Structure 1
Amino acid sequence: MSVTTAETDLPRTNARPWLALAILALPTLLVALDSNVLFLALPRLTAELGASNVQQLWVTDAYAFMVAGLVITMGTVGDRIGRRRLLMAGMAVFALASVACAWATSPLMLIVARGVQGIAGATLMPSTLALITNIFRDDRQRGKAISIWATCTFTGAALGPVLGGVLLVPFWWGAVFLLAIPVAAVVLIAGPMVLPEFRPEQARRLDLVSVVLSLLAILPVVYAIKVLSLGNGSVLSGLVPLAVGLLFGIFFVRRQLRGDDPLLDVRLFANSSFTLILTALALAGMILAGTALNVTQLLQTVLGYSPLASAMWFVPMGLCMAVGTMSTPALTRSVKPRTAIIGGMLLSAIGAAVLIVVNGDHGAWPIVLGTAVIGLGAGPMFALGIGLVVGSVPPERAGSAASMAETANYLGGALGLAVLGTIGSAVYSSQMDGVGSDRAQETVAGAADEASQLGSDAAAALLKTAHAAFVSGLNTVAAVSAGVFVVLALLAGVYFQRASRTSGD
């Protein structure tokens, strides 16, 4: 791929590429961090903004869905206007949207601002990876740099709840969004001096119709899942958007199959091995994000920990995920990748099984143990998954496959917040039926707010029922998670069996 900008040919010292990598690591960390940073702030912002159950979930979902839906699109935009230029523009918009999130005065304003954050976040991921590929021309150094880039993604996701909890001690809930400001300042000032521009001579045409169709397919389906699971309104109010989303999905697929230069190469899904491992990546991301959402809220709303204490209790999951991911290369020198991934998924299933039986009576330790085991077991899947996705397709399609793997990661996380968050909320609402006000029946934060206005006996009774309902929701989410991890282990087994037959082993 040729480059039209002369800046890429500037002489570099040995240190310059690594300095550029340090700059590119910042937005990578930020995008991943902002997908989870709200977990510990949700109870407080729900109470202060008066967000409903559905609004609360959209606050967490809007960001990740916009990132997932537009990553591939923004890669094409970067080809046309230049990767560094797109990175700078995206970083500036991300910072402005973060300020709007921090001082949002209503749930709707926060949801819209989170959506704009997601649009900007989608510009950052493909820009950073493309620039790394261009800067590091030695295959060995490039591999190391991409490994560091991938580690930043997992580190940011793990640090999100922790940093959010730390900031909530001295500041208001909106402070969790202001982490973007210093990062944007460093990237916008240092980026033009350190980063080269990168733009291929033959840039792909941006198919705006496909972009719109993809979003019209994803968002109505997610909305339908929320409505049907929570029981808000009639069944028809959920089935109509579901049908609309599926219809636009059909239009999107047909357009991709007919176009000479599709936005998404859906023909890759004809490769069963590719589809299997991509599905496994998305499902693993879904379970991790959904479990983290429910656990961080339980630590605060049921066990009564402060945001900072909840953040500290959440650290083991992030650390174990980092250990599982970073130790996988060494592990695969002793065992086969098949053994590492399948064993990891079964280990995560055991961690989820621990959460099925927790009841809050024994404090945070069983909960932290379960989430830590889940994170440790998921490490090999995330460490090896992208390589397996790319390796399952012909070399000329490797770029498209890598983009899909990145999209699957974010889409899986967003679905986890939507689907598992909705399942937990649905169980809570069903067990709170007829107890307290409508707000108390929607969220445990609403129940706590109502309890603060009641006498001691009535308040204690309401909170006891609400806490038990919330824990039941977590138990249900954990049961679903354990089942999905077992399915993932089976999918991995099928994948490696097919790969073995193909290679003739």
Structure 2
Amino acid sequence: MTRRRAWAAVAVVCAALFLIGLDFTVLNVAIPDLRADLGPTLAETQWIVDGYALALGGCVLAAGALGDRYGRRRAFVTGLAVCALASVLGCTGDSPAQLVAARCGMGVGAALFMPATLSTIVYVLPDPVDRRRAIGIWAAVAGVGALFGPVVGGWLVHHYDWRAAFWMNVPVAAVVLLAALPAVPESRAPHREPLDWPGALLSSTGLLALVWAVIEAPGRGWTSAQVLGAFGAAALLITGFAVRQIRCAAPMLPVGLLRRDPVWPATLVLALMSFAMFGAMFLLTLYLQQVRGLSAWSAGLRMVPLSLGLAIGAVLGPVLARRLGARVPVADGLLLITAGFVQLAGLGADSGDPPVLLFEAVSGLGAGLLAPVATELVMSAVPAGSAGVGSALNDATRQVGSTLGVAVLGSVLATAVAEGPDPRTAFVAGLADAAVVGGTVALLAAALAWYRLPGRGPADARSPADRPSLAVRPSVK
């Protein structure tokens, strides 16, 4: 494989990743028009929005294992096709139930192709320098897509209607799918073992129960019987999955991988970063709209500078890791996120744009510094034949972290608003309380990164025996 084709494959999979980010948030600003048209209840509205995250978070680990065994490009194009078909179901839907089904279908499609994005990058770029650069791009795109969702959604709703948020996926997914056929090479584990179907079922149901509980907790109450029951079921199912992987002759997720340094600390750091950043983005969007009275379009535009910080940090992070060690950009990035939360806690009801933009610049730079370095640490420790599962592990922990961040910080904010006599004053107080929680999480993650991550740059931890043969991986020129 030529170097040009390798980078063409990177461009294609990153385009698909951008679509995933858009789909997380593009529908948020279309909800008022959607409710006026179809009249869903509040509970139905929540599931129209959250069905995507539920299906993606629940299925991604099993989908990564499927890609390793049956072909990552096959999983990639199948996922894109499922996402496009589900989007057609959504944009032609005339009932809330149909939209919930469409969003869940889109999430299943995204779960199929999301692990293939990162595992394809690892496959086509065996050179560590090129791979780190590409993972930096991947990490930046993963965050930027979600940030642009409200901007794109606001523009579509303004010029068309809420159905355009679904129609948008169809041509984009079709173009990316057609581009993937010549650009993305097929890859799979060199020694294909049968899929551990009981393990796949346990992981999917366990993650589905966990994500459902996190999504429902703010509305039903963290101590409600349904939420506690779902958390308990998730704990039992995930424990059963772990036991199954220990005893299974061909495990879907090698448990020994999770015991390695730096896999478990890097994975946990990524989850905590997602908790802090997605929670902060949720809080800031509400602040701009409910306290400052901005439209969804205007609020979305003010989130764009955060993407610039992400992009700059994603370039600098791997450079710092090579020179100073992985712990430096990861821990420093988390300290910058902590500083951003200090800035967020100081926002008042009449604060203008400068303090908001300062928060975005500082926290965005911090997230950009750490995300590619921590991701590279995880992927470097994963055997080449399990790259899809390694990517899915990275995706699943980020998804759970981001969902938990929105739920926990949103609950802290909602508690303060419910108890305050003046809505705007109570909101600002709740924002400060939530920022303290988010900043504390980021600070604890920084300490974990400093003490558990390596003090030198992330190296390619795979032995030659772990790599595919030349018959499986074409050389890159």
Could you say which TM-score interval applies, normalised by the shorter chain?
0.7 to 0.9
2:231 matches 1:242: yes
Q: What secondary structure does 1:375 align onto?
A: helix
- C-alpha contact (below 8 Å) 1:265/1:400 kept by paired residues: no
1:413 is matched with 402
Give the stretch that moved more between structures: 136-145 or 88-97: 136-145
Distance 2:75 2:399 in 1: 20
1:68 aligns with one of 48, 57, 66: 57
2:462 is matched with none
1:383 aligns with one of 354, 372, 375: 372
- C-alpha contact (below 8 Å) 2:140/2:310 kept by paired residues: no
Distance 1:129 1:233 in 2: 34
- C-alpha contact (below 8 Å) 2:218/2:410 kept by paired residues: no
1:348 is matched with 337
2:150 matches 1:161: yes
- C-alpha contact (below 8 Å) 2:330/2:371 kept by paired residues: no
2:473 is matched with none
Distance 2:197 2:261 in 1: 29
2:245 is matched with 256
Shift in Å, 1:126: 2.7
- Give the letter for the 2:296 counterpart: P
Task: Output aligned runs, 1:23-422, within 5 Å.
Answer: 23-42=12-31, 44-45=33-34, 55-136=44-125, 141-200=130-189, 202-225=191-214, 228-231=217-220, 235-271=224-260, 273-332=262-321, 335-391=324-380, 400-422=389-411
Shift in Å, 1:29: 1.6
2:434 is matched with 477
2:453 matches 1:490: no
Task: Output aligned runs, 1:11-22, within 5 Å.
Answer: 15-22=4-11
Shift in Å, 1:49: 5.4
- Give the letter for the 1:405 counterpart: N
* RMSD over equivalenced CA pairs, Å: 3.3
Larger Rg: 1
TM-score by length of 1: 0.79
Q: Cα distance 1:144–1:235, how it changes in 2: closer, same or farther (>3 A)?
A: closer
- C-alpha contact (below 8 Å) 2:417/2:427 kept by paired residues: yes
Give the stretch that moved more between structures: 294-303 or 35-44: 35-44
**Residue by residue, what CA displacement relative to the aligned partner does 1:367-392 show, whole Å, maximum 9, x if unpaired?**
33323322112222102101223456
- Give the letter for the 2:445 counterpart: L
Distance 1:319 1:233 in 2: 36
- C-alpha contact (below 8 Å) 1:352/1:371 kept by paired residues: no
Give the stretch that moved more between structures: 326-335 or 93-102: 326-335
- C-alpha contact (below 8 Å) 2:267/2:378 kept by paired residues: yes
- Give the letter for the 2:442 counterpart: F
In the alignment, structure 1 segments of 5+ residues that lack a partner are 1-11, 433-464, 501-505
Q: Cα distance 1:349–1:56, how it changes in 2: closer, same or farther (>3 A)?
A: farther
- Give the letter for the 1:313 counterpart: R
Distance 2:14 2:215 in 1: 34
- Give the letter for the 1:157 counterpart: A
Q: Cα distance 1:157–1:168, how it changes in 2: closer, same or farther (>3 A)?
A: same
Distance 1:422 1:186 in 2: 40
Shift in Å, 1:80: 4.3
**Residue by residue, what CA displacement relative to the aligned partner does 1:43-75 show, whole Å, maximum 9, x if unpaired?**
554666556665555444332343233233223
Q: Cα distance 1:428–1:178, how it changes in 2: closer, same or farther (>3 A)?
A: farther
Q: What secondary structure does 2:168 align onto?
A: helix
- C-alpha contact (below 8 Å) 1:210/1:255 kept by paired residues: yes
Report runs of 4+ in structure 1 exceeding 6 Å deviation: 393-399, 497-500
Equivalent residue pairs, number: 457
- C-alpha contact (below 8 Å) 2:70/2:188 kept by paired residues: yes
Distance 2:212 2:379 in 1: 32
Name which structure has the greater RCO, CA cutoff 8 Å, separation 6+: 2
Q: Cα distance 1:95–1:173, how it changes in 2: closer, same or farther (>3 A)?
A: same
Q: What secondary structure does 2:256 align onto?
A: helix
Distance 1:431 1:105 in 2: 39
Shift in Å, 1:99: 2.9
Distance 2:279 2:44 in 1: 16
In the alignment, structure 2 segments of 5+ residues that lack a partner are 458-477
- Give the letter for the 1:358 counterpart: L
Q: Cα distance 1:345–1:336, how it changes in 2: closer, same or farther (>3 A)?
A: same
Give the stretch that moved more between structures: 164-173 or 105-114: 105-114
